[in-house]
Structure 1
Amino acid sequence: MAGQLEKLKVLAYTQADYNGPVLAEFHAYVNPSELTLAYEMEYDSAQGSGTTASRMEFKQIKPSDLSVNFFIDGTGSNGQLVDVQQQVEAFQQTTGYNGDIHRPNYLIIAWGNMQVRRCVLKSASITYKLFKPSGEPLRALISATFTDNSDDTNRVALAQDQSPDLTHLRIFKAGDSLPALCQQIYGNALVYPQVARFNGLTSFRQIKPGTQLRFPPMEQS
């Protein structure tokens, strides 16, 4: 319903273009209190012989890193009882190595109005903080860093925030309509039947707020 808590989620894909089905999902137990986005500009600092300074010629923007901490509490102190180790394993299964594709999964991170990030896991560490007498963990902190996985074409399109040739994720909010979202993304409200079928919707007029919708790439005439 409107105003409901929306959790940060990590979606796993096996295809580099992110157009296949979602393989696995990991939802944050509690939303992070902060996200750290790090990016680096690369310059050519070649210096001429006999000179005392160099002119920094811009080369490229390196793929950015997003760092986030996932806190998991299995004590039930907030009324939600979870198995800490199962949650950790769900994170590892979603973000880690996939033997079927011989590499880690391709990931999408989505949370509210935050720009959807296409990325892969760069590094992660898991700290267990509290244990039962049996040794079963009751609390854990996953510190993860994800690195951008967009190619140059996609990176430019994402920088423009809208591109009909990319898959978009949207969380349907009260007051939204599927035709209006199609107009926003594709510049064409009349493609809503295709989007409805793609998401398995039986009625585009009865979409519940909080529903996650995927808008697939579409060629524009």
Structure 2
Amino acid sequence: MSASDRGTLEKLLILAYTTPDYSGEPASQFTSYVNPNEITLSYEMEYDAAQGSGTTGSRMNFKKMKPGDLALTFFLDGTGANGERIDVQQKIEEFQTVTGYNGDIHRPNYLKVSWGTLTVKRCVLKSASIAYKLFQPNGIPLRAVITASFTDNSDDTTRVAMAQDQSPDLTHLRVIKAGDKLPVLCNEIYGDPRLYLRVAEANGIDDFRNILPGMRIFFPPLEK
């Protein structure tokens, strides 16, 4: 039985980019210490209320989907009670570096948040708060909770496509399980198994037959 079949723990991942089109390799990344036990996705539709003369009701004409928000809470424990001892302050600074202001581009980084088979979300940090819960006698923090809110950074076309779970207009992240085949996955996502070579090229995979359980593969927007 493979590690994937036994339920290997996948950590939530935040990737930082310096370009608005998210091109190239990530500049940095943050991996959660303990996965959030709750993820809140909020979104809002915008309508025009069209009311006919002499009527009391109105017809709601859809205009667009507004940028949505993603709320996450990260728990950090430096006591070793979770089986791994970490430097809490160092982990917090890592989060701030990845999600915060980047002097090289004079703005916060462009982010991708992904976890398991969830659709990759393109976003930017909207707000964050850090609550320190436990300290050593010398003041070094041992436990902390980061509460972060991210706002959607997709264009309007992508936001509309997000209403469709398997839309090929979105970038998907899949964690490979035992028995997965790249052409089959391409057929599920794009409706065309022949796109496997382009997906392999996008991920730097030389042999599409040699994809192993636990690998993360991105399925970018592709035209048939």
TM-score, normalised via structure 1 length: 0.86
Is 185-194 or 82-91 further displaced after alignment? 185-194
Matched, 1:112 2:116: yes
- Cα 1:193/1:138, change in 2 over 3 Å: same
Structure 1: how far apart are the matches of 2:56 and 2:80? Answer: 60
Matched, 1:100 2:125: no
State the match for 2:82 in structure 1: 78
Per-residue CA distance 1:62-101 (angstroms, 9 max, x = gap) = 2211111000001101111111111111111111112222
- Cα 1:17/1:158, change in 2 over 3 Å: farther
Structure 1: how far apart are the matches of 2:203 and 2:64? Answer: 37
Question: What secondary structure does 2:205 align onto?
Answer: coil
Contact 1:43 1:56 in 2 (8 A): no
Per-residue CA distance 1:92-147 (angstroms, 9 max, x = gap) = 11111122222211111111232322111110001111111221111110000111
State the match for 1:126 in structure 2: 130
Structure 1: how far apart are the matches of 2:169 and 2:117? Answer: 20
1:167 maps to which of 162, 168, 171? 171
Q: CA RMSD in A?
A: 2.5
Structure 2: how far apart are the matches of 1:116 and 1:11? Answer: 10
Structure 2: how far apart are the matches of 1:210 and 1:67? Answer: 26
State the match for 1:195 in structure 2: 199
Structure 2: how far apart are the matches of 1:57 and 1:191? Answer: 40
Contact 2:119 2:173 in 1 (8 A): no
Matched, 1:211 2:196: no
Per-residue deviation at 1:20?
Answer: 2.3
TM-score, normalised via structure 2 length: 0.85
Contact 1:107 1:120 in 2 (8 A): yes
State the match for 1:148 in structure 2: 152
**Aligned counterparts, 1:14-33, within 5 A:** 14-33=18-37
Structure 1: how far apart are the matches of 2:171 and 2:22? Answer: 7
Listed as ranges, the gaps of 5+ residues in structure 2 are none
Contact 1:18 1:167 in 2 (8 A): no
Structure 1: how far apart are the matches of 2:204 and 2:27? Answer: 17
Structure 1: how far apart are the matches of 2:51 and 2:169? Answer: 42
- Cα 1:53/1:135, change in 2 over 3 Å: farther
Structure 2: how far apart are the matches of 1:200 and 1:185? Answer: 19
Per-residue deviation at 1:47?
Answer: 8.7
Question: What secondary structure does 1:75 align onto?
Answer: coil
For residue 103 of structure 1, what is the amino acid of its counterpart? R
State the match for 1:55 in structure 2: 58
- Cα 1:53/1:104, change in 2 over 3 Å: farther
Listed as ranges, the gaps of 5+ residues in structure 1 are none
Per-residue deviation at 1:44?
Answer: 4.8
Contact 1:19 1:167 in 2 (8 A): no
Q: How many residues align?
A: 219
For residue 6 of structure 1, what is the amino acid of its counterpart? E
State the match for 1:35 in structure 2: 39
Structure 1: how far apart are the matches of 2:213 and 2:121? Answer: 22
